[in-house]
Every structure is written in structure tokens, then in C-alpha cells.
């Protein structure tokens, strides 16, 4: 894959958007061009029609970007959804006399409802089934739905019902100019809303689900809900596209929504770069423009059908970033001089008209950036608490909403308050506030592990008082309890009646030879497989049947043996995804960048920076995950669990793939994380590492519990020694852990 294509792969990033383009002369020219387009002398009646067709294409392409580009679910039936939107528009216009801006909502609702219905089926199965489901839907729609009299009887909309000249608002759709402004305004609004969504909690959930469903769920993201949201939004946009089509043509036929039309739409989105909104719009203009060219140039006659698949093939095989990557490449080339002009513009010309423009620039990124300019004290102040809309609803409605069975009400644990922990940290000798920081040499007395010789290990950290470990184990509350867990796979008993407890503020190690059932036990606690018998309690709740994301919402974070980060995004963006659980903003607020979203985004970014600072990952924050070494990524996963505010972190073989130095550093970090007030459960192959870091250990063999106790007890336990090394090998283990 070329570098350009890779950079586009990162395009859906939740990056902090730069608003340099406000003063960019090219952009200003473009805006002026679009606004004046219908009046330009060379713009013929047919060219205006082409521009209007492009608006329709753009709407469909944007709907595909959300579903296919961002969530990774292919839709092969978008034309069917467009058709539903178009016919429903006909019904509400002719039957209910609902006119233009309002009937958009009807079309959107119709598309969304059908998409959700399809989604409900598709989310239950994995893989390419959504693609099949949408294809089948499209087939059914063109063979059945779009042939039923009752459904298509209002397919012809004379212009009158669209508006009463005396009423307000009145749109004269017979004019192509009116349609140009109307349709492109709708497209612009959709692009604006989707750009906001992309940079919000919902957008991050989309990317997380596309990257790894398990990892997404482990951050408290409901995979099902996220996919359904994407289906609904995509369906709504497709429905709106249907509305635009009906207004444009005034009469629609089922031919516009045939199965192969869906494939054509997919081609537009892919040529645009699939995950880029701007690319989707550009590709729509390109494809509509091709109509115009092939219509005018006689030599091309008859070749129009060949071009879309050729373009699709070329993009797929040669330039996967599509038009979005092309645009970025061009922008990089010309940015030196556009920057010069834009600086000039911004310093001389814009100030005069800037007042109005600034008001319009209310987006997540700009707001957060502005927050970065305020003094540090006010940034550190608690974000003013805001009540989410659903909490402000009248009590009966709110309680009715709470009873909707789709989401189990999860008693979310309060987020681990890192600020309070840091504030309680021991001041360092030189007392440089606000964060007491000092260098801990590897031989610091707090560590009791012999260091491998090699590169000196320095890790500055805050000196935290060892949290309540002083209290006897039995006095500390139980956070995880597995009670008699048995897991059978068919006839195989992988785990047999295992009981273990993890108590607050301790590191519990779970070890065992290969095939001992460590991972199965771990997965039962994490929610990946349901025990055949026995119960699992977390924070005192019986979570045996809870899903992964429900457990995560309860306050459990985890890391993976095989790193599950989003490779195309930066470390910062990856960590930001984990703020999901404690981000209380809702979809509407995301779309319009409401105050709750802004407050939550600010808080989330602060949390990420705080954790990065604590784990010393600042230097990597802006690096792409794909470019970083494995050892750093392991720390990023620990950081991600910490960002989520979990008080309980489960680590799946954290030392695997790490060299000695990295393992040692990891052990230090785990102890540090424990001292922050977090409880850890880890399964691990590296016995030396576990015994050095754990406060308490469990040993599994053949699916059953072999021994439990402090690391010292375990090391002396003859059964454990026998299980690991055979009877006579006792001295070796002693030496290894000495």
C-alpha cells in the first residue's frame, strides 16, 4: 500500500481538526464558485442538471461512508433504502401534504427504520452477513416492494404539492437553480453533521468496532448498539437521498433502485476513499460529471457503463486511498503557497469579517483547542456538571425509557479519580508541583526483583504510598469472585470447579502450564465464554451472563495477548476511545456539538493526557500505532485500560513478546498502577515475572486449582514445582526466583 493510501486509511481519525482552511484562498474560491455556480455563463441547463445529480450521488455516498467506511459493514442494498425514502416521500407529500424541509425527516425516518430492521438481523451474525442481508433486501425490494400498488401509487409527484406559492417556505422545484441550492444545502448539512459525529464518542465507537469487536466491547462499547446506530444513520441518509431523487425527477420508477444500482453506489464510495466524507462528495461529482462528458463527446458514446467498474478496479488495485488520498497529496504539494496567502488573508483581510466566522466554528476540535488556550488552573477545575437530556426528561417518560429492555442498567462504578490519587502522592524532594516527579533507579528499594543486566532502566514516577495493602488480605473487599467455575467444550472439561477471589488493591497472578485452563478461566471472568457451571461476581454483582461491554461499564478494563489497538490511529486517538464509558453525551449532542459533548470531550482529553503523563507515554501520543514497537504498545494497552477509569484491570499474558528490560519495566508499571488504586488480575507464562509482581497467586493444572497463596508460598510449594519442572528440579526454580 502506498504511503498516500495509508495516510488516508487514517483519515477517519478522531484527529483534532485544523480549521486553517477558513483562511485558505482556495477554499474561499471554491465556496464562492459553488454559491455562484448556477449563474455562471458557461453553466448550461444540462450542466446544472449534472451538478444536481451529483448532489443525489453525494448523499448516497455519504450514507455508505458511515456504514461501510467507518463501521466496516458493506451495504449492497443502499439503492433499496434510497427507494424506500423516495416512495415514502411521495406518500407524505401527496397524502399528508408535508412539504420540503419537513418531508426530509419522514424520508430519513423511513430509511432508518428499514435499515434498523435489517441491522437487527445482521448484528446477530458475524462476517459478511450484513452484505448478504442488504443484497437480499435490495432484491426483495425490487421484485416485491417496489411493485406493490399500495407502496408505489404516489411515485409521481407533480410540482404543486411540493409547495404552495403563498405558503412559507415555498420552493419552486421546477427551477434547477432552486434545486441546486436546496439539494447541496442538504448535502452540506449532512456532511457537517457526519463530520461532527466522526469526531465524537459515537465516531470513535464506530472505528473501534471496525477494528476489533472484542477490544471495543472491552472498553464498554456495545457492539450491537454501535452497529445499529450506524445502520440507522446510514439508512436515514439514504432515505434523504431518495427524497432528493423524487424532488429532482418528480416521478420515480423502480428501475432507479435495482440491485446493480447499489453496486454502482458502492463504487462511488470506494472511489472516494470509502472513509472520507470529502472524498465521497468528490467522487459523486466525478461520476455525475462523467455522465455529462459521455453525453457530450460523441466518441465516448456507449462507453459510459464501462467507466464506473474501471474506476472502481483502478482504485481498489492501484490507489486504494481513492480521491481522498489524491486530494491529500495535492494539498501537501500546494500547501506552501496557499499557507502564505492564507496567513496574509487571516492577518489583513479576515479580521474584518472574522466575527461572524468564529461564531460558526463551533466544533469539537476548535472548542477543545480553545480550551487548551485557557489558563491551566481553569482547565484543571472540574468540568461543570451537566445533566444529560434523558435525565432532564419528565419522570414518567424517563422511567418509561429506562424500562426499554434493550440495555440492562449497569451500575457504573465511579471512575478512578487519578487527580485525587496524584494529589495525595508524596511530594518529591525538590518539590516541583503540581506533579511530584522523581527518578526511580532500578535498584530502588520498592522493587525486589533482580534486574537483568543491560540498558539501565530509568523510569520517573510519582511516589505513591503503597495503598491499603497494609490491611490483611481477608479484610479487603472482594472485587472478583469466581465460584466453582466449570467450562466444558463439548466433552472436554477445560476448567473444572475453579474458585478464586481477587481483593481490592492487589495484584493477583494466575499461572499454570500450557493447557491448564488459564485463558478459559480468564475469559469466563472477562465475559468471552459463559461458564457451564458456577458463578462469576464482579464488584459483588452476579455477572455470569453479562456481556463483555456490560462488564466493562461496570468498571473492568483489560489488555490482550495479541495487541488489539487501531493500527491506523495515533496513540492519543486510541486512548481517547477508552473514555467511552464515562462520556455521558448522547447522539444528538454529538451531531450538533452540544455543550455536554464539549464538556465530555474536554474531560476525556484531559484524562488521556493525565494517564499518558503517569505512564510516560507523552512522546508517543501523536505517533501512529502501526509505527510503534510492541513493547510500547503493551504499555498503551495498559494506559487504555487506565483511561477507561476502571478500578479493575485484567491482563492477558502481558509479558508475552517482551524482552527482559521491557518485562521489568512492565512489572514496575503494574505495581505503580496498583498503587494508583487499581486492582489487577493477570495470567502469565513468565513465572518469574508473576512471582515478582503478584501479591497473591493461583496455580492451575489440568483445568483445576492446584495451589494458591503468596508468591513465596507458591515458590516453595512442591506440587507447583513438580507441575512446572518435574520432581527433582526444585533448586532451579529457587535459583530463578532468587
Partner 1 sequence: MARLLVFVLLSLPLIGAYAIFSLGLVVIYRASKVLNLAHGAMAMVSAYLFNAVSEAGLPLFAALPVAVAAGGVLGWGVERLFVRPLRTVSTTAQTVGTVAAFGLLVAGAGKIWGTGGHGATRVFPEGQITIASSGIRYGDLGLFFVMLVVSAGLYVLLQRTGVGLAMRGAADNPRAASLMGVNPQLATSGAWVIGGSTAAVAGILLAAVTILHPVVLSLQAVPALVAALIGGMGSLPGALIGAAIVGGTQGLVPALPSLQRIEGSAQLLLTLLALGVMAARGERYVATDVRGGAL
When the beta carbons of 136 and 371 are compared against partner 1, the nearer one is: 136
When the beta carbons of 295 and 303 are compared against partner 1, the nearer one is: 303
> What are the Cα distances from residue 505, in Å, to 130, 386, 536?
44, 32, 19
When the beta carbons of 1 and 712 are compared against partner 1, the nearer one is: 1
> What are the Cα distances from residue 257, in Å, to 78, 87, 137, 195, 609?
9, 11, 11, 27, 49
Beginning with the edge strand found earlier in the chain, give each strand of the sheet holding 492-503 in spatial order: 492-503, 478-489, 533-538, 541-542
- In the complex, the smallest distance separating the C-beta of residue 165 from partner 1, rounded to whole angstroms, is 39
Alpha-carbon radius of gyration of the chain:
29
Long-range CB contacts (within 8 A, 24+) of 702-709: 702/496, 702/515, 702/516, 702/517, 703/493, 703/494, 703/495, 703/496, 703/498, 703/516, 703/517, 703/520, 704/495, 704/496, 704/497, 704/498, 704/517, 705/497, 705/498, 705/499, 705/500, 706/512, 708/500
- In the complex, the smallest distance separating the C-beta of residue 691 from partner 1, rounded to whole angstroms, is 31
- In the complex, the smallest distance separating the C-beta of residue 1 from partner 1, rounded to whole angstroms, is 7
- In the complex, the smallest distance separating the C-beta of residue 67 from partner 1, rounded to whole angstroms, is 11
When the beta carbons of 513 and 567 are compared against partner 1, the nearer one is: 567
- In the complex, the smallest distance separating the C-beta of residue 356 from partner 1, rounded to whole angstroms, is 36
When the beta carbons of 315 and 697 are compared against partner 1, the nearer one is: 315
Grid coordinates of 374: 485557557
When the beta carbons of 148 and 380 are compared against partner 1, the nearer one is: 148
DSSP state of 426: P
CA angle 563, 65, 276 (to 5 degrees): 80
- In the complex, the smallest distance separating the C-beta of residue 313 from partner 1, rounded to whole angstroms, is 4
> What are the Cα distances from residue 196, in Å, to 95, 189, 192, 622?
35, 11, 6, 21
Q: Is 651 helix (H, G, I), strand (E, B) or coil?
A: strand
Beta bridge mates, 382: none
When the beta carbons of 547 and 710 are compared against partner 1, the nearer one is: 547
- In the complex, the smallest distance separating the C-beta of residue 193 from partner 1, rounded to whole angstroms, is 21
What count of other Cβ atoms lies within 10 Å of the Cβ of residue 179? 23
When the beta carbons of 72 and 436 are compared against partner 1, the nearer one is: 72
Torsion of CA 114, 115, 116, 122, to 10 degrees: 120
What do you get for the CA distance between the two ends of the chain, in Å? 49
- In the complex, the smallest distance separating the C-beta of residue 125 from partner 1, rounded to whole angstroms, is 5
When the beta carbons of 127 and 355 are compared against partner 1, the nearer one is: 127
The β-bridge relationship of strands 459-461 and 438-440 is: antiparallel
Nearest-angstrom CA–CA distance, 246 and 42: 27
- In the complex, the smallest distance separating the C-beta of residue 74 from partner 1, rounded to whole angstroms, is 6
Amino acid at each position: 500500500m502506498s504511503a498516500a493510501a495509508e495516510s488516508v486509511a487514517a483519515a477517519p481519525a478522531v484527529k483534532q481538526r485544523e480549521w486553517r482552511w477558513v483562511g485558505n484562498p482556495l477554499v474561499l474560491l471554491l465556496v464562492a464558485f459553488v454559491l455562484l455556480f448556477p449563474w455562471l455563463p458557461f453553466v448550461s441547463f444540462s450542466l446544472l442538471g449534472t451538478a444536481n445529480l451529483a448532489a443525489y450521488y453525494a448523499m448516497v455516498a455519504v450514507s455508505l461512508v458511515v456504514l461501510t467506511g467507518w463501521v466496516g459493514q458493506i451495504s449492497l442494498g443502499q439503492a433499496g433504502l434510497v427507494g424506500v425514502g423516495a416512495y415514502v416521500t411521495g406518500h407524505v407529500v401527496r397524502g399528508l401534504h408535508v412539504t420540503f424541509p419537513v418531508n426530509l425527516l419522514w424520508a430519513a425516518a423511513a430509511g432508518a427504520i428499514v435499515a434498523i430492521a435489517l441491522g437487527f438481523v445482521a448484528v446477530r451474525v458475524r462476517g459478511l452477513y450484513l452484505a448478504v442481508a442488504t443484497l437480499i433486501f435490495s432484491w426483495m425490494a425490487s421484485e416485491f416492494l417496489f411493485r406493490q400498488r399500495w407502496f408505489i401509487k404516489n411515485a409521481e409527484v407533480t410540482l404543486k404539492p411540493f409547495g404552495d406559492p403563498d405558503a412559507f417556505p415555498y420552493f419552486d422545484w421546477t427551477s434547477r437553480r432552486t434545486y441546486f441550492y436546496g439539494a447541496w444545502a442538504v448535502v452540506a448539512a449532512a456532511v457537517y453533521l457526519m463530520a461532527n459525529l466522526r469526531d465524537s464518542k459515537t465516531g470513535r465507537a464506530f472505528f473501534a468496532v471496525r477494528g476489533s469487536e472484542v477490544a471495543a466491547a472491552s472498553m464498554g462499547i456495545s457492539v450491537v448498539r454501535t452497529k445499529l446506530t450506524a445502520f440507522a444513520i446510514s439508512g436515514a441518509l439514504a432515505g434523504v437521498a431518495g427524497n432528493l431523487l423524487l424532488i429532482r425527477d418528480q416521478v420515480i420508477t423502480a428501475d432507479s433502485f435495482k440491485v446493480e444500482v447499489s453496486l454502482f453506489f458502492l463504487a462511488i464510495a470506494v472511489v472516494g476513499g470509502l472513509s472520507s466524507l470529502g472524498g465521497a462528495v468528490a467522487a459523486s461529482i466525478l461520476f455525475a460529471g462523467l455522465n455529462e462528458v459521455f453525453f457530450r463527446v460523441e466518441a465516448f458514446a456507449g462507453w459510459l457503463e464501462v467507466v464506473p467498474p474501471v474506476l472502481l478496479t483502478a482504485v481498489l488495485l492501484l490507489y486504494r486511498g481513492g480521491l481522498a488520498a489524491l486530494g491529500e497529496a495535492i494539498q501537501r504539494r500546494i500547501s506552501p503557497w496557499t499557507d502564505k496567502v492564507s496567513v496574509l488573508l487571516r492577518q489583513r483581510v479576515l479580521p474584518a469579517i472574522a466575527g461572524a466566522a468564529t461564531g460558526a466554528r463551533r466544533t469539537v476540535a476548535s472548542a477543545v483547542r480553545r480550551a487548551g488556550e485557557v489558563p491551566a488552573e481553569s482547565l484543571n477545575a472540574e468540568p461543570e456538571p451537566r445533566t444529560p437530556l434523558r435525565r432532564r426528561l419528565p419522570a414518567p417518560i424517563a422511567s418509561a425509557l429506562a424500562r426499554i429492555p434493550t440495555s440492562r442498567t449497569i451500575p457504573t462504578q465511579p471512575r478512578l479519580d487519578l487527580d485525587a490519587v496524584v494529589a495525595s502522592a508524596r511530594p518529591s524532594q525538590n518539590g516541583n508541583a503540581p506533579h511530584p516527579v522523581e527518578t526511580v533507579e532500578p535498584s530502588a528499594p520498592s522493587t525486589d526483583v533482580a534486574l537483568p543486566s543491560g540498558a539501565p532502566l530509568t523510569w520517573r514516577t510519582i511516589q505513591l504510598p503503597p495503598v491499603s495493602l497494609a490491611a490483611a488480605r481477608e479484610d479487603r473487599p472482594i472485587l472478583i469472585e469466581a465460584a466453582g467455575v466449570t467450562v466444558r467444550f463439548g466433552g472436554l472439561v477445560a476448567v473444572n470447579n475453579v474458585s478464586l477471589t481477587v481483593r481490592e488493591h492487589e495484584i493477583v497472578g494466575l499461572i499454570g502450564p500450557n493447557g491448564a485452563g488459564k485463558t478459559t478461566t480468564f475469559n469466563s471472568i472477562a465475559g468471552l465464554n459463559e461458564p457451564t457451571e458456577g458463578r462469576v461476581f464482579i464488584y459483588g454483582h452476579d455477572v455470569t451472563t453479562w456481556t463483555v461491554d456490560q462488564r466493562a461499564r461496570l468498571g473492568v478494563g483489560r489488555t490482550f495477548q495479541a495487541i488489539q489497538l487501531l493500527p491506523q490511529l495515533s496513540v492519543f486517538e486510541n486512548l481517547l476511545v477508552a473514555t467511552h464509558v464515562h462520556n455521558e453525551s448522547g447522539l444528538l449532542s454529538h451531531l450538533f456539538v452540544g455543550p455536554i459533548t464539549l464538556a465530555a470531550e474536554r474531560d476525556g482529553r484531559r484524562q488521556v493526557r493525565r494517564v499518558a503523563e503517569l505512564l510516560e507515554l507523552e512522546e508517543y501520543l501523536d505517533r501512529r500505532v502501526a509505527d510503534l514497537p510492541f513493547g510500547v504498545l503493551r504499555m498503551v494497552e495498559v494506559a487504555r485500560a487506565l483511561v477507561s477509569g476502571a478500578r479493575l484491570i485484567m491482563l492477558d499474558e502481558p509479558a508475552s513478546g517482551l524482552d527482559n528490560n521491557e518485562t521489568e519495566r512492565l512489572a514496575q508499571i503494574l505495581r505503580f498502577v496498583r498503587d494508583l488504586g487499581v486492582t489487577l488480575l493477570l495470567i502469565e507464562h513468565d513465572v518469574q515475572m508473576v512471582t515478582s509482581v503478584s501479591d497473591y497467586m493461583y496455580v492451575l493444572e489440568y483445568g483445576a486449582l492446584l495451589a494458591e497463596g503468596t508468591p513465596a508460598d507458591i515458590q516453595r510449594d512442591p506440587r507447583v514445582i513438580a507441575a512446572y519442572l518435574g520432581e527433582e528440579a526444585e533448586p532451579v526454580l529457587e535459583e530463578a526466583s532468587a
